[in-house]
């Protein structure tokens, strides 16, 4: 797989236009994976020509990239993989996209996802699932399945995703690439279709940790258009701190977890020890409630953020409507997929009067206890590690009939999301059947630089 510097070298030795053309051709050649919903070829070539003419410059000048199709961008519709936004042409771009373009990078297309980012396999896309880069009978993971696959297939050196409860980390793990979920508030959410306002993050898929650092540092930083962004803090580090104390999360290493997954994690732990760090087992008692918390809080916030999709001002409007009530009801019924509707219903239920205290508020209180527990843990440990998912990529169709089983597979990734902590997935080997497995590194708030430095230091001997 190519890195950003590989691409920059190609641009120097040929042209940005050629490099972009090659990326587009590569994208077409892997169409069967259904990783892309659209190509923004015309705009991309136009910008590439400007790079060649010296009108567009920057640290990423001419480097092609792809964004998950829930980022508002020019050149193609922003569909969120949903019928609801199938023809929505955004009149503005997400901050993350703007910053990458300001650095000279060139967006060549929009990647497939679970519709509105609701899912963990990309099977909830209204436009068909994306296939795993290593095995086309298996899922790409989700919700940022398309972005993970185009990176793994070397279409582009990096692709943007969003991670609300694991949607970057899990597909990264399933496809053998690096996936970064930063500290909540690191990258502006402006211009990204909102899912859960208190856990949504913007991150990236890359082939190595150094590229992730570069892309994150371009995108990160305070944005006056998003009040939850943090003052600039992200600083890449050359070397990781030596002799770190690392905790291996016991609750994520039970017998319910695939043996090969545990083995990969244990091997990674050994490599950490060899590098001079200590790794010991730790326990977080609030983790047992994490799934319950997450699937109360997040659907509630989803039901709120999806209220604006009513077919009135933009997006899908059902054609056979006589009354306003029909306009709302039918547009939303036809525009959303089943999983969207399920989460909206759960969310509305837990927010309804009479249930708000028992469910939503109680879950947010449990969240406080989880955060406190993480904070205490990080007083003693520098990094926590564990698997990303209990299994490697499962077969297409395997989990679609049991949504709750799908929810339970998120158990490892949702807890850092609830706490707003940075967490990354790095490739940690393959199963005997050749399926990628990732290991998750979780850090304290704003320790993103340290996490990536640690990951960087262990790369190579994979």
Partner 1 sequence: MLYTKSMTQISRDDVQHLAQLSSLQLGDDEIDALQVIPTYQVSDRQNVWRNDVVIDYGVTREQLLDLSVESDQHQVKVPKVL
Partner 2 sequence: MTSTELLEKYDMTIGIECHVQLATDTKLFSGADNDARGKSPNSVVSPIDFGLPGMLPVLNRAAVDLAIKAGKALNAPIANVSRFDRKHYFYPDLPKGYQTTQMYDPIIQAGYIDAPLDDGSTVRVRIHHAHMEEDAGKLSHYGNYSLVDLNRAGTPLIEIVSEPDIHSAAAAKAYATELYRLMTFAGVTHGDLYNGNMRFDVNLSVALKGAIELGKRAEVKNLNSFRSVEKAAEYEFHRQVALLERGEAIVQETRGWDDAKQITNSQRSKEDAQDYRYMPDADIPPIVLTDQEIADIQATVPRLPGEWRVLLKTIGLDSLQTETLLDAENEYRTTLSLLDIVEASSDNTEKAKFIALWHVNTFVPLLRDESFIATSIDYTDLITQLYDLTKASKLSSNSAKAVFIELAGSSELPDIESYATEKGYIQESDEGAIAAVVDEVLADPASAKAVADIKAGNDKVIGFLVGQIMKKSQGKANPALAQKLIRERL
- At its nearest, how many Å lie between partner 1 and the CB of residue 310? 9
Number of residues forming the site for partner 1 (CB under 8 A)? 62
Q: What is the DSSP string of 114-149?
A: SGGG--SSSTT-TT-PPBPSS-TTBB--SSSHHHHH
- Residue 233's Cα: distance from chain center in Å? 21
Binding residue for partner 1, selected from 348, 398, 430, 459, defined by CB under 8 A: 348
What are φ and ψ of residue 44, in 5° steps? -65, -45
Which residue is catalytic, options 50, 68, 446, 456?
68
* 171-190 binders of partner 1 (CB under 8 A): 184-185
Of 6, 328, 373, 398, which lies in the binding site for partner 2, with binding defined by CB under 8 A?
328
Cis peptide before 143 (omega within 30 of 0): yes
C-alpha span between 185 and 223 (Å, rounded)? 10
Q: In whole angstroms, give the CA distance from residue 46 to residue 415.
A: 43
**Is the distance from CB of 163 to CB of 197 less than 8 angstroms?**
no
224 by Cβ neighbours in 10 Å (0-12 / 13-18 / 19+) ranks as exposed
68 noted as active-site residue: yes
Residues 92-151 that bind partner 1 (CB under 8 A): 92
Which residues partner with 39 through β-bridges? 109
Of residues 65 and 71, the one with the C-beta less far from partner 2: 71
234 makes contact, choosing from partner 1, partner 2, none, with CB < 5 to 8 Å by partner type, with: none
- When the beta carbons of 132 and 229 are compared against partner 1, the nearer one is 229
The CB density around residue 290, as the number of other CB atoms within 10 Å, is 25
**286 interacts with partner 1 by CB under 8 A:** yes
Cα 342-163-456 angle, rounded to 5 deg: 155
Of 34-42, 128-136, 171-179, 187-195, the segment contacting partner 2 by CB under 8 A is 187-195
Applying the rule CB under 8 A, the residues between 318 and 337 that interact with partner 1 are 321-329, 332
Q: Residue 451 class from Cβ within 10 Å (0-12 exposed, 13-18 middle, 19+ buried)?
A: buried
Interface of this chain with partner 1, residues 363 to 382, rule: CB under 8 A = 363-369, 371
Burial of 253 (0-12, 13-18, 19+ CB in 10 A): middle
CB of 440 to partner 1, least distance (A): 18
- 72 is in the binding site of which of partner 1, partner 2, none (Cβ under 5 to 8 A by kind)? partner 2
Q: Which of 194, 218, 246, 455 binds partner 2 (CB under 8 A)?
A: 194
Packed helices 411-419 and 362-380: angle between N→C axes, nearest 10 degrees: 90
Rounded Cα gap, residues 413 and 423, in angstroms: 8
Q: Which of 287, 261, 295, 286 minimizes the C-alpha distance to 412?
A: 287
Cβ nearer to partner 2, comparing 56 with 302: 302
Integer Cα distance of 94 and 98 in angstroms: 6
Note whether 300 and 364 are within 8 A (CB): no
Rule CB under 8 A: choose which of 244, 263, 361, 400 binds partner 1.
361
Name the residue nearer to partner 1 (CB basis): 222 or 271.
Answer: 222
Q: Which of 82, 125, 143, 331 is catalytic?
A: 143
Residue of 53, 55, 91, 432 that binds partner 1 (CB under 8 A): 91
429 alpha carbon, distance to own chain's centre:
20
Write down the catalytic residue from 10, 121, 167, 188. Answer: 167
In whole angstroms, how large is the CA radius of gyration of the chain?
A: 21
Angle at 109 between CA 103 and CA 112, to 5 degrees: 125
CB under 8 A: which stretch of 62-70, 87-95, 136-144, 276-284 binds partner 1? Answer: 87-95
233 in contact with partner 2 (CB under 8 A): no
Taking the complex as a whole, the smallest distance from the CB of residue 407 to partner 1 amounts, in Å, to 7
Q: Which residue has the tokens 């970064």?
A: 180
Residue (33 or 190) nearer to partner 2, CB: 190
Closest CA to 4 of 215, 268, 301, 290: 215
Give the Cα separation of 303 and 341 in Å (integer).
9
Residue closer to partner 2, measured from CB, 307 or 433: 307
C-alpha 61 chain-centroid distance? 24
* Binding pattern for the stretch 389-428 against partner 1, x by CB under 8 A and - elsewhere: --------------xx--xx---------xxx--------
Residues numbered 339-378 forming contacts with partner 2, rule: CB under 8 A: 348, 351-353, 356, 360
Catalytic residue flag (residue 147) = no
Select the span of 18-26, 211-219, 223-231, 378-386 touching partner 1 (CB under 8 A).
223-231
Q: Using CB under 8 A as the criterion, which residues of the chain lie in contact with partner 1 when the complex forms?
A: 88-89, 91-92, 184-185, 198-199, 224, 227-230, 286, 288-289, 291-293, 295-296, 311-315, 317, 321-329, 332, 342, 344-346, 348-350, 359, 361-369, 371, 403-404, 407-408, 418-420
Residues labelled as active-site residues: 68, 143, 167
Q: Using CB under 8 A as the criterion, which residues of the chain lie in contact with partner 2 when the complex forms?
A: 72, 78, 80, 85, 88, 90-92, 94, 189-194, 197-198, 224-228, 300-301, 303-304, 306-310, 312-314, 324, 328, 348, 351-353, 356, 360
């Amino acid at each position: 797989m190519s890195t950003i510097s590989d691409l920059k070298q190609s641009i120097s030795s040929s042209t940005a236009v050629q490099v972009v053309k090659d990326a587009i051709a590569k994208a077409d050649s892997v169409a069967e994976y259904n990783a892309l919903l659209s190509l923004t070829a015309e705009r991309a070539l136009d910008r590439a020509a400007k790079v060649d003419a010296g009108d567009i410059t920057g640290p990423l000048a001419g480097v092609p990239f792809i964004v998950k199709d829930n980022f508002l961008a020019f050149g193609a519709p922003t569909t969120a993989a949903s019928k609801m936004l199938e023809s929505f042409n955004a009149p503005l771009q997400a901050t993350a996209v703007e910053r990458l373009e300001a650095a000279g990078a060139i967006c060549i297309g929009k990647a497939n996802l679970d519709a509105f980012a609701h899912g963990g396999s990309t099977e909830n896309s209204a436009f068909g699932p994306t296939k795993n880069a290593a095995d086309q009978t298996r899922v790409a993971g989700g919700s940022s399945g398309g972005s993970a696959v185009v990176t793994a297939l070397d279409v582009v050196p990096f692709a943007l995703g969003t991670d609300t409860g694991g949607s970057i980390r899990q597909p990264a793990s399933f496809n053998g690439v690096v996936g970064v979920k930063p500290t909540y508030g690191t990258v502006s959410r402006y211009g990204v279709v909102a899912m859960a306002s208190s856990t949504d993050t913007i991150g990236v898929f890359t082939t190595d940790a150094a590229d992730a650092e570069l892309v994150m540092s371009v995108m990160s930083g305070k944005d006056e258009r998003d009040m939850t962004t943090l003052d600039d803090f992200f600083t890449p580090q050359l070397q990781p701190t030596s002799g770190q104390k690392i905790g291996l999360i016991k609750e994520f290493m039970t017998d319910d977890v695939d043996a090969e997954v545990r083995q990969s994690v244990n091997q990674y732990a050994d490599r950490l020890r060899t590098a001079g760090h200590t790794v010991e087992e730790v326990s977080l008692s609030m983790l047992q409630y994490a799934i319950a918390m997450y699937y109360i809080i997040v659907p509630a916030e989803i039901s709120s953020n999806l209220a604006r999709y009513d077919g009135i001002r933009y997006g899908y409007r059902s054609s056979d409507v006589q009354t306003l009530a029909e306009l709302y009801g039918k547009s939303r019924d036809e525009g959303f997929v089943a999983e969207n509707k399920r989460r909206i219903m759960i969310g509305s239920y837990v927010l309804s009067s009479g249930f708000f205290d028992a469910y939503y508020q109680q879950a947010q209180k449990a969240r406080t206890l989880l955060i406190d527990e993480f904070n205490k843990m990080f007083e003693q440990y520098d990094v926590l590690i564990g698997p990303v998912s209990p299994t490697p990529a499962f077969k297409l169709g395997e989990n679609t009939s049991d949504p709750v089983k799908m929810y339970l597979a998120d158990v490892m990734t949702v807890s850092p999301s609830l706490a707003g902590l940075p967490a990354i997935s790095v490739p940690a080997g393959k199963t005997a059947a050749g399926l990628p497995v990732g290991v998750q590194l979780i850090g304290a708030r704003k320790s993103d630089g340290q996490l990536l430095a640690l990951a960087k230091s262990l790369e190579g001997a994979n």
